[in-house]
């Protein structure tokens, strides 16, 4: 696997979690979610590909979507976290932390052994 | 920023291509909702670009960041069609998902080819069962000189060929046809479920446990 492929998998792996975390702050529409993600991460490579992911998370029952008229010149589709989404997010956060801790320990151990060897 | 007529045409052109591309794979109501959401995004971006000196450059930047309409459509299709096929198991969504994978991946192409053969053979057996009562002399097991040469229907029947067997082939052909169709369809669903599972693992990070 090339480095590019690995980085793309890593990005995709984090994107669902990043979107759920963003929406957990309160109901947000697509562009606001993208702007929030862009503010904290570089996970959004192509803005248009975020919308299909929002659609999938909605179909999976993790998000609920609702069109709101009159707030701006054009209707906005707002997303909010459902109860199932809340539960999934808690699990994903725990999994992510556990994973990064394990990999972090591995990196530390490898660095330490490298130092001892050199 | 208020768009000029040229700017409006550019936006409408983008949305038109997106709609046509989505329409190839997705139901009409889903396409309408997706295009509405993307248009809302574009209009928001345009409104936020107030004061941009060059409309054309600003618009191209907005659409460029959104991504080419074909790519956006592909992302929608990838997320949607397989989920629907696995969840419902209905023929049309399954066929749509297999078609999409066959059109975009090498593995999907070969699996799609195999499934096409399976569905065709199953339907052919059912056609034999349906045609036998109508054309008893042309449908069934064909022999030449006592040796079976083919099974199916031939119009007209070659002079040295004899159709053997009676109406008993109807239940057998119907049962075999149904069995092949059900087996092929189960295979298609299993393939799509596996594909979806792999995608979910890749996108959730659970592969890293």
Angle, CA B119 vertex, CA B136 and CA B192 arms, to 5°? 165
Torsion angle defined by CA atoms of residues B88, B92, B95 and B99, in that order, rounded to the nearest 10 degrees: -110
pTM (whole model) above 0.80? no
Task: Enumerate the domain spans of chain A.
Answer: 3-117
CATH of A3-117, one of 1.10.10.10, 1.20.200.10, 3.30.930.10, 2.60.40.420: 1.10.10.10
**Residue-averaged pLDDT of chain B:** 85
Render pLDDT for B81-105 as a digit per residue (tens, 0 to 9). Answer: 787 788 788 888 888 888 878 887 8
Residue B39, chain A, CB below 8 Å: the answer is yes
Return d(Cα A95, Cα A20) in angstroms, integer: 14
Mean pLDDT throughout A54-62? 91
Render pLDDT for B115-148 as a digit per residue (tens, 0 to 9). Answer: 999 999 999 999 989 988 888 888 888 888 888 8
In this complex, do A48 and B67 lie within 8 Å of one another by their Cβ atoms?
Answer: yes
Placement of tokens 């991504």 in the chain: B67
**Residue A51: is its pLDDT beyond 60?**
yes
Return d(Cα B102, Cα A96) in angstroms, integer: 34
Render pLDDT for B103-122 as a digit per residue (tens, 0 to 9). Answer: 878 888 999 999 999 999 99
Return d(Cα A42, Cα A40) in angstroms, integer: 7
Confidence category of residue B209, pLDDT binned at 50, 70, 90: very low
Which residues does residue B143 pair with via DSSP β-bridges, in sequence order? B148, B162
- What pLDDT sits at residue B202? 54
In this complex, do B36 and A75 lie within 8 Å of one another by their Cβ atoms?
Answer: yes
Confidence category of residue B200, pLDDT binned at 50, 70, 90: low
* Nearest-CB residue to A55 (from B69, B80, B207): B80
- What pLDDT sits at residue B204? 46
A89-103, B37-51, B96-110, B154-168: which is most confident: A89-103
Mean pLDDT throughout A84-91? 96
Mean pLDDT throughout B145-161? 83
Render pLDDT for B9-56 as a digit per residue (tens, 0 to 9). Answer: 999 999 999 999 988 778 899 899 999 999 999 999 998 887 777 888
Return d(Cα A52, Cα A12) in angstroms, integer: 13
**Residue A115: is its pLDDT beyond 80?**
no
**Residue B161: is its pLDDT beyond 50?**
yes
In this complex, do A56 and B72 lie within 8 Å of one another by their Cβ atoms?
Answer: no
- What pLDDT sits at residue A58? 93
Write phi, then psi, for B174 (nearest 5 degrees): -65, -45
A88-97, B3-12, B63-72, B168-177: which is most confident: A88-97
Half-sphere exposure of B92 (CA within 13 A, CB side): 4
- What pLDDT sits at residue A109? 93
- What pLDDT sits at residue B175? 94
Confidence category of residue B208, pLDDT binned at 50, 70, 90: very low
Residue B41, chain A, CB below 8 Å: the answer is yes
Q: How close does chain B come to A99, measured CA to CA in Å?
A: 6
Which residues in A106-115 are b (16+ Cβ under 10 Å) and which e?
eeeeeeeeee
**Residue A25: is its pLDDT beyond 60?**
yes
Return d(Cα A22, Cα A80) in angstroms, integer: 10
Render pLDDT for A59-83 as a digit per residue (tens, 0 to 9). Answer: 889 999 999 998 878 899 999 999 9
Nearest residue in chain B measured CA to CA from A96: B205
In this complex, do B38 and A48 lie within 8 Å of one another by their Cβ atoms?
Answer: yes
A–B interface: beta-carbon pairs under 8 A = 98
């Amino acid at each position: 696997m090339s480095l590019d492929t690995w980085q793309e998998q890593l990005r995709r792996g984090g994107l669902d979690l990043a979107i759920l975390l963003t929406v957990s702050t309160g109901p947000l529409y697509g562009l606001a979610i993208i702007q929030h993600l862009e503010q904290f991460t570089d996970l959004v490579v192509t803005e248009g590909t975020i919308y299909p992911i929002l659609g999938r998370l909605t179909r999976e029952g993790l998000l609920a979507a609702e069109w709101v008229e009159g707030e701006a010149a054009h209707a906005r589709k707002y997303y909010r976290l459902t109860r199932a989404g809340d539960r999934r997010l808690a699990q994903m956060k725990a999994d992510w932390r556990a994973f990064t801790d394990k990999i972090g320990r591995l990196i530390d151990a490898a660095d330490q052994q490298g130092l001892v060897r050199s | 920023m208020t768009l000029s007529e040229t700017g409006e045409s550019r936006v409408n052109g983008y949305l038109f291509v997106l709609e046509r591309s989505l329409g190839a794979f997705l139901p009409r109501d889903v396409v309408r909702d997706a295009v509405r959401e993307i248009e809302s995004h574009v209009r928001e971006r345009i409104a936020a670009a107030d004061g941009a000196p060059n409309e054309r450059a600003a618009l191209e930047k907005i659409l460029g960041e959104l991504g080419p309409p074909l790519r956006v459509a592909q992302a929608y299709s990838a997320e949607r069609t397989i989920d629907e096929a696995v969840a419902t198991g209905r023929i049309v969504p399954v066929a749509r998902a297999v078609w999409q994978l066959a059109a975009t991946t090498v593995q999907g192409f070969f699996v799609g080819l195999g499934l096409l053969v399976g569905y065709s053979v199953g339907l052919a057996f059912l056609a034999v069962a349906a045609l036998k009562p109508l054309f008893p002399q042309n449908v069934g097991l064909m022999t030449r000189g006592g040796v079976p040469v083919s099974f199916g229907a031939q119009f007209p029947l070659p002079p040295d060929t004899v159709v053997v067997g009676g109406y008993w082939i109807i239940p057998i052909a119907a049962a075999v046809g149904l069995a092949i169709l059900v087996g092929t369809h189960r295979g298609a669903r299993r393939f799509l479920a596996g594909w979806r599972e792999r995608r979910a693992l890749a996108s959730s990070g659970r592969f890293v446990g």
